[in-house]
A and B are shown apart, each in its own frame.
Chain A
Amino acid sequence: MQVTRFPSRADGLADRMSGFIAHLRSNGLRVGPGETADALSALSQITATDADQARRALCVLLASDAEDWRRFDDLFDAYWFNVGKQREGVAQTSHVRVQSAKPMIWQDAAHSDEQGAESAEQEGSADQGEGDAEGTDGKLIATRTVNLSRRDLRELMDDEALKQAEKAALMLARAIRDRRSRRRKQALRGATLDMRRIQRASLARGGEPIDLYRRAKPPRPMRIVALCDVSGSMTVYSRVFLAFLKGLIGSGTEADAYLFHTRLMRVTDALRDHDSIRAAGRLSLMAEGFGGGTDISGSLESFLNGYGARALNGRTIVLILSDGYCSSDPQALSAVLARIRRKSRRIVWLNPLKGWKDYQPIAAAMQAAEPHLDAHLPANTLEALAALEPQFRKL
């Protein structure tokens, strides 16, 4: 948390309040000058000298989602009582851990600080941030030590592969995009009559409904959520899959991408970066622990508890790109897939091993997962990905 020191020469309540708003803004709340006025008028409606009332009123007014709501007390104390902490310690629940591991916040700061600095310095700052985000989860620290040898994704992505992947992803996205909405809109052809427009037009014809207008259901695009395994056993394929993800994000469909190994991170924003080299740089900073062990069910679980509520709905197709080799309990995987399945439209598992001849889902995890999948498809090269299009059309 950023600490804002009390301005010693602050002048009057309005001044301090705008200081407080600035303090909240620097801590990531979406508030602006308009809120300052609102806050002052809210204080006028209550006993402003009662700190508890003021705290509650400001919280109600200035928080705009559940996370702000939880953080507000600390931010309030930090400003009005000068008890800010420089850095939050260990995140408590798994959900918060995922949130704080969302790398955008600190990464942007790290980048802007050291734009022209040596790359060594940049790596140093990334390390610091990572350590902060990872907390004290035993598993994660183990992964870190295994993977001190950093894998640079810049090597893994070249322009040619990107183009091919983008094409494959575009085709897939197009294949599943066309779904009908339930809302009806005016259209040239359609099943139902648009009484409103017919009536309106009939006035011009002396009340005779001569011109018939119609309403139809417009197409409503499907959303794609892609979860990509980047653990050790998948290293060979990660090049293909990352390029594929990048293509998917850039395909114009609503898409969301996540990487996971022993924990999960959202990479949509990094992939959306138009500069593909910079995107690769950001990705490689994020994928610390890349190539380590796998915890599929744990990662899916934290996805479901964290991002799941936002990312999943009845129009979402969940793509899981993984080989299914994992250390976690197959039962847990089966359970979490069942939960995801209920929240989304389809689950598709893209398995690189399935491209092999005579592949049987022997891995216990895959066996547990199969009943919950709508499709289990091979995907080991870009060509294989491109060949998936007809299957996707059927989904």
Chain B
Amino acid sequence: MGWGCMSDWVRIGLADPTERRGPAPSEPPPRYFLPDEEWILVLTLSDVQNGLAAQGYVADDRLAMALHLAQTLGRPLLLEGPAGVGKTEVAKAVAASREARLIRLQCYEGLDASHAIYEWNYQRQLLAIRASEAQGGVGEAQLFSDAYLLKRPLLEAISQDIPPVLLIDEIDRADEEFEAYLLEILSDFQITIPELGTVEATTRPIVILTANGTRDLSDALRRRCLYSFLDYPSKEVEMAILRARMPEVEGVLARQIIGVVQALRKEDLEKTPGIAEMLDWAAALSGLGVNDMAQSRDAVQATLVCLLKTAADYDAAPPEVMDRLIGKVA
């Protein structure tokens, strides 16, 4: 698609394509704009989308663009959205499509440096001191060497030969102090260990952060990251996801599943079912050999536990309501 009216070049500020003033956007940009890592495996936008599709992940255009930019600009990507829309799955799919390692750091309240970055193996150090006393003891340099260093996810991620995918899951569960430390690592990709010196990143990982609003994130972190908001998918996209993940589900059942789930999302539920729940439900139904929901009401009611996760929600969908929803879809 073009920019609408006028000539496209005029629109973005270049008077005429024949006499291009200033840098034409298709030319490589000046050096100082680019991160100076040549090793970044540069993928085009369509490569990204195809790579994800090959992993069974249906990414919309914006998410694909976000991942493309995250890789080319070397910036971390912050994913936000309701629970169960596939934020964590993105990282897994990216890792799989690049055949890179996925390093995951699950955040929780009270997460601190010794669990996220590194820790010395003190017990082993003490043992080593005792064991080597007969031979005249061990040197300090030996004690504080790689052999006694326990690498936690962040250090692990920057000391890989092939750029891995670093997934920092549910960053909003960690506390502010950790977020501040994370900022430092995400901007410089280096970690200072007092006993060893500064560890520079051998390769720069692709960093994906996820959040779903337990706590508001700092502006500084948001500014440093690319941002993408994942919402519940539309009917068509969700159908594509179901097809990609479970090709064995029959057409009629698939349409019914998507229809009912989409309708349930519009209901006033405490915990709206996400894509993960939808896939669970589909697996349960097809595992029970259901081909048409209208024919097997009991199975539908029994498998609703996959979809509705609180007692109140479960009460909100009695058989009559489900019949109505299924009837609407059919």
Contacts and interface: CB of A to CB of B under 8 A. Distances in A.
B287 interface: no
A209 to B, nearest CB: 7
Contacts of A203: 140
A283 to B, nearest CB: 24
Given A42-B69, A65-B227, A203-B140, A196 B33 contact: no
By DSSP majority rule, is chain A's interface helix, strand, loop, or mixed? helix
Contact of A60 (B23, B65, B215): B65
Q: Interface size for chain B: under 10, 10 to 19, 20 to 34, or 35 or more residues? A: 35 or more
Given A12-B21, A207-B137, A209-B126, A183 B3 contact: no
Interface in B268-325: 270
Interface stretch (B87-95, B107-115, B180-188, B241-249): B107-115
B8 interface: yes
A65 B222 contact: yes
A46 B45 contact: yes
A322 B214 CA distance: 27
Interface stretch (B9-17, B159-167, B196-204): B9-17
Interface string B114-131: 100001101101100110
B122 A195 contact: yes
Interface residues of A, number: 56
Contacts of B11: 80
B122 A53 contact: no
Interface stretch (B24-32, B50-58, B96-104, B255-263): B24-32
A49 B25 contact: yes
B244 to A, nearest CB: 22
A156 interface: no
Contact of A63 (B9, B65, B129, B227): B227
B110 A48 contact: no
A211 to B, nearest CB: 14
A161 to B, nearest CB: 33
Nearest to B2: A51
A44 B28 contact: yes
A52 B65 CA distance: 11
Given A65-B227, A196-B122, A16 B65 contact: no
B9 A69 contact: no
A309 B122 CA distance: 40
A50 interface: yes
A44 B69 contact: no
Interface in B198-241: 213-216, 219, 222-223, 225-229
A90 interface: no
A15 interface: yes
A69 B137 CA distance: 61
B156 interface: no
A182 B109 contact: yes
Nearest to B29: A44
A4 interface: no
A65 B69 contact: no
Contacts of A339: 270
The 10 A-B residue pairs with the shortest CB-CB distance in the complex, in nearest-first order: A48-B25, A182-B110, A41-B33, A44-B29, A12-B22, A64-B222, A56-B65, A309-B213, A16-B13, A207-B129
Interface of A: 10-16, 30, 37-38, 40-54, 56-57, 59-61, 63-66, 68-70, 80-81, 181-184, 195-196, 198-199, 202-203, 207, 209, 309-310, 313-314, 339
Interface of B: 1-4, 8-9, 11-14, 21-23, 25-29, 33-34, 45, 61-62, 65-66, 68-69, 72-73, 80, 109-112, 114, 119-120, 122-123, 125-126, 129-130, 133, 137, 140, 175, 213-216, 219, 222-223, 225-229, 270
Given A66-B80, A310-B215, 15 more contacts: A41-B29, A41-B73, A46-B65, A48-B25, A51-B1, A53-B65, A66-B229, A68-B227, A182-B109, A183-B110, A195-B122, A195-B123, A207-B126, A207-B129, A313-B214
